[in-house]
A and B are shown apart, each in its own frame.
Chain A
Amino acid sequence: MTTHDHQRIELPAPCTGPMLCAFGITLGFAGIVTSWPVAVVGVIFALAGGVHWWRQVLPDPVEITPDITVHPTPIEPRPERVAKLTTHRAHRARVPLEIHPYSAGITGGLIGGLVMAAVALTGSWLEHGSIWFAINVMAGTAMPSIGDMSTEGLLAYDASAMMTAGTMQLVLCLFIGLLYGVIMPLLPRWPVVWGTLIIPAVWCGLMLAAMSVVNPALETHIDWTWFIGAQVAFGLVCSVWVVRAEKIDTMQHWSYLERLGMEAPGVQPEEDDE
């Protein structure tokens, strides 16, 4: 901001005209709801105010020259420099900045799925004397006929149930392993605890609520202790596997050239030696 010096200041002079005119107009309208003499007085006031106002501005506006007695404090430049916003690579970044490779999630899911199956089959063998019980019951999710089987039937080997349960286990573990790989970098503080306890707990709660719809056969025959144990085993193995994998950069701050893997001196910022 700069200013021009040595100006002559003139201001419009105070004037009763506008107030009188406004008062007169109001009285004029008030006459409609009171009596005509009020309106007449209003018109007189309005005319008097109007004439006074007219004479204040024509032929030349009446102005006053004030005595300049006060002055604002001059604005001094601030001694401190403007603090610049220093950005680092986390500034306005999409988190996470680094992720685990998706392959770690897939591998973790497969290995976790094997461990999970082992726990479930162990439970089935200990509780029912047959590993096929767990496999058949799991297949019931996709095979409604399983729900009509007798207990003896559930304890016996069934090829179609084996294929169905195996495929389901494989696909589910692949996807959930991939999901673990994606979300582990987002989880705070102790991702393994989240992956081992919290996520299985949420999953088991969901299954508890939805089991009657998803798999009535499993709901009838399920042993929740072994079910939860199998989920925890999966979570533990998968999350540990994922967390142990080396993180990779998301490249969101990389330039287009860097992402392409090109070397372009003069275009890319030079690395600071320090």
Chain B
Amino acid sequence: MSSSPVRPDLSPPLSRLHEWVVTVDHKRLGVMYIVTGLVFFLIGGFEAAMMRWQLAWPGLDIVMPEDFNRLFTMHGTTMVFLVGMPILLGSANYLVPLMIGTRDMAFPRLNAFGFWLFFFGGALLYFSYFGAQGLYGMGSAPDVGWFAYAPLTERTFSRGHSTDYWILGLMVSGFGSIATGINLVTTILCMRCTGMRLMKMPLFVWIMLVDAILIVVAMPPLAAAQVMLLFDRSLGAHFFDVQAGGSAVLWQNLFWFFGHPEVYILILPAFAFVSEIIPVFSRKVLFGYPLMVAATVTIGFISMGVWVHHMFAIGLSPAVNTLFMASTMLIGVPTGIKMFNWVATMFGGRIRLHTPMLFSIGFLAQFLFGGLTGVMLAVVPFDWQVSDSYFVVGHFHYVLFGGLIFSIFAAIYYWFPKVSGRMLSEALGKWQFWLLLIGFNLTFGPMHVSGMLGMPRRIYTYQLDRGWEIWNLLSSIGVLFQALAIAFFIWNVIRSLQRGTPAGDDPWDAWTLEWSTTSPPPAWNFDTDPEVRSRRPLWDAKHPDDPDWKYE
């Protein structure tokens, strides 16, 4: 059935808002995901800045101890669930249909449902700052850490409703992620354009396929654990209540069975971004495409079997620890293959150091550092020494900030022209890159030292005589650089949206299908259904004398 819906008679701003609220267009939903994620990024960044201010020097009293607990809980929860997840889902939403040459996702309305569940779930979580205290007078936002270890989440130790908000907000948002994951898998498997066999897909699409499968597999155990915890707290069950025969370790197993794949769910899209950007700015084909696909699938598999490395310090048997130490080290192999292939792609290329490429190179260096400290932490005796210390904080920020966030900025600078039709300023972008590079390393590099010196994570303050002062001060100074970098970014986006240079359809002389349509793309994506013969259809069109399909 085909009909034109009746548009309500609304004033222009409200009309435009209405268009966005009721949209089922994958591109608009993608933009909404990403913008919401960036707003939460600012909120989570503010929370981090408050913590760094508090820790800048021993004995400061910037925030109250209980507020500090809420800050690190909400910061971690926000950055993982409300920043990383929506930006990766938004990117996949926007780009996958364009890259595979289709008009929309397989289930457009489910797509909108997924976004709104995420959005309202996040809103419910942050409503805890008002609701949890306002109605019951027992605390405010959640304060149990982003992984909410039992039994501290039991009603006995966590009065009021703050932990319930954590459970419900993330559960609702998680349902949305699962819906979008299913949608992505179906779209990629069933809606590719003519000629796009699996091994002709852009690597971005391959990685997003593996990522979506991981989401579908890893999120339900978290939802199940959260329902069990809700039963404990609301219905008197004892799943995680140790004193009544429950098991706190069960929570850890269930949480980390989700939690470690989640790390790869977050970092795989980073791999996807740089796998598209590095070849274009090196003017070379991606090195070792089949091996990159194999490495991606291998990472997906192995990531389901490494979760116990988060639990080395809880006293499991040596056999279990050894097994998971080995599996954790094993995952370094396909990841290393990817690193080598990115470097090999750059090797001998005509590298153009535009902002997306700068951020991609920053990703390579910093993710490598974070990966190496990850291998160190995989060694059980070493992990015992630095478990729950700032060394671990430094490690995972090198992965998730130095890796993921840098790659997100690379992606924003790369695809912003496609989304908006305007170029971002290169000069402002380079200011942002260098400030963020300096600020990031200044903040998180010294954490490895303070961690090795014995500083535990999640402490509110510390004494003067521990030798941690200079490292904490450096970390806090780094935040100023980062804040300045983000200010440059915001200014760049606002300025470019207003008077940026028109981008044209293909400003980077790139090769995948999204660059064959207008910037921004129309609602229908392509005037006609594309047909491809290689992984780089635009290369084939631009260079009919030497097309890729002859060699693939």
Contacts and interface: CB of A to CB of B under 8 A. Distances in A.
Given A9-B524, A72-B517, A82-B545, A3 B530 contact: yes
Nearest to A54: B109
A62 interface: yes
A47 to B, nearest CB: 14
A64 B109 contact: no
Interface residues of A, number: 49
A39 to B, nearest CB: 11
A5 B528 contact: yes
A19 B541 contact: no
B505 A72 contact: yes
Interface string A44-87: 00000000010011001111111011111101111001100000
B540 interface: yes
B171 A14 contact: no
A11 B168 contact: no
Contact of A56 (B109, B120, B513): B109
Given A11-B524, A12-B24, A68-B524, A4 B531 contact: yes
B528 A22 contact: no
Contact of B543 (A3, A18, A32, A82): A82
Contacts of B112: 15, 18-19
B117 interface: yes
A151 interface: no
Interface in B514-534: 516-518, 522-524, 526-533
A68 B522 contact: yes
A72 B24 contact: no
Given A26-B172, A29-B124, A64 B113 contact: no
Contacts of B230: 32
A72 B542 contact: no
Interface residues of B, number: 66
B3 A66 contact: no
A242 to B, nearest CB: 33
Given A23-B120, A64-B5, A32 B234 contact: yes
B22 A75 contact: no
A250 interface: no
A2 B121 CA distance: 43
A32 B168 contact: yes
A152 B124 CA distance: 96
Most B C-beta atoms less than 10 A away, residue of A12, A15, A22, A75? A22
A147 B83 CA distance: 74
Contacts of A62: 1, 3, 5
A15 B165 contact: no
A33 B116 contact: no
B298 interface: no
Nearest to B134: A34
Nearest to B532: A1
A76 B109 CA distance: 37
A186 interface: no
A18 B21 contact: no
Contacts of B541: 1, 75, 77
A73 B519 CA distance: 10
A13 B62 CA distance: 51
Interface of A: 1-5, 7, 9-19, 21-23, 25-26, 29-30, 32-34, 53, 56-57, 60-66, 68-73, 75-78, 81-82
List 6 tightest A-B contacts by C-beta distance, closest first: A22-B116, A1-B537, A18-B113, A26-B120, A60-B1, A3-B528
